[in-house]
Amino acid sequence: MPDNNFTGPKKAQYVEEMFDRISQRYDLLNTIMSGGRHKRWKEIAAQAVAKDLKGIALDVATGTGDIAFSLAKQPNITKVTGIDFSNSMLIIATQKASEYPKNDIEFTRADALSLPFPDNSFICATTGFSLRNVTDIPTCLSEMARVVKPGGRIAILEFTPLLGTGFFPKLFNIYFHQLVPMIGQLVARDKAAYTYLPDSVERFVTAPELKTLMVDCGLVNVNFRHFGLKTVALHTGEIPTT
Ligand SMILES: C[S@@+](CC[C@H](N)C(=O)[O-])C[C@H]1O[C@@H](n2cnc3c(N)ncnc32)[C@H](O)[C@@H]1O
Q: What is the CATH number of the domain that holds 112?
A: 3.40.50.150
Q: How many domains does the chain have?
A: 1
- Residue 73's pLDDT is 94
Give the C-alpha separation, 123 to 78, whole Å. 10
| Any domain includes 178 | no
| Any domain includes 45 | yes
Protein residues with CB under 6 Å of any ligand 1 atom: 12, 15-16, 19, 61-63, 66-67, 84-86, 89, 111-113, 128-130, 133-134
| Any domain includes 3 | no
| Any domain includes 185 | no
- Residue 3's pLDDT is 79
Of 7, 117, 133, the one to substitute when testing ligand 1's pocket (max ligand atoms within 8 A of C-beta) is 133
Give the C-alpha separation, 25 to 71, whole Å. 23
The sheet carrying 55-60 orders its strands as: 105-109, 77-84, 55-60, 122-128, 148-159, 232-238, 220-227
Print burial letters for 198-237: b (CB count within 10 Å at least 16), e (below 16): bbbbbebbebeebbebbeebebeebebeebbeebbbbbbb
Do 52 and 118 contact (CB within 8 A), yes or no? Answer: no
- Residue 2's pLDDT is 60
Of 84, 87, 107, 199, the one to substitute when testing ligand 1's pocket (max ligand atoms within 8 A of C-beta) is 84
Kindly give the distance from the C-alpha atom of residue 76 to the centroid of ligand 1, in angstroms, as a whole number.
25
Confidence (pTM):
0.96
- Residue 131's pLDDT is 97
Max CA pair span of the chain: 52
Q: Which parts of the chain sit beneath pLDDT 50?
A: 1
pLDDT in tens, 54-105: 999 999 999 999 999 999 999 999 999 999 999 999 999 999 998 877 779 9
Q: Identify the residue whose C-alpha is closest to ligand 1 atom 1.
A: 129
Kindly give the distance from the C-alpha atom of residue 242 to the centroid of ligand 1, in angstroms, as a whole number.
31
Task: Return the amino acid letter for 134.
Answer: V
Kindly give the distance from the C-alpha atom of residue 102 to the centroid of ligand 1, in angstroms, as a whole number.
23
pLDDT in tens, 1-12: 467 888 889 999
| Any domain includes 116 | yes
| Any domain includes 149 | yes
Give the C-alpha separation, 238 to 215, whole Å. 10
Could you give the C-alpha distances from 191 to 2, 38, 186, in angstroms and in order? Answer: 11, 21, 8
Q: Identify the residue whose C-alpha is closest to ligand 1 atom 27.
A: 63
| Any domain includes 192 | no
Q: Which domain holds residue 12?
A: 8-163+205-238
| Any domain includes 140 | yes
Do 214 and 124 contact (CB within 8 A), yes or no? Answer: no
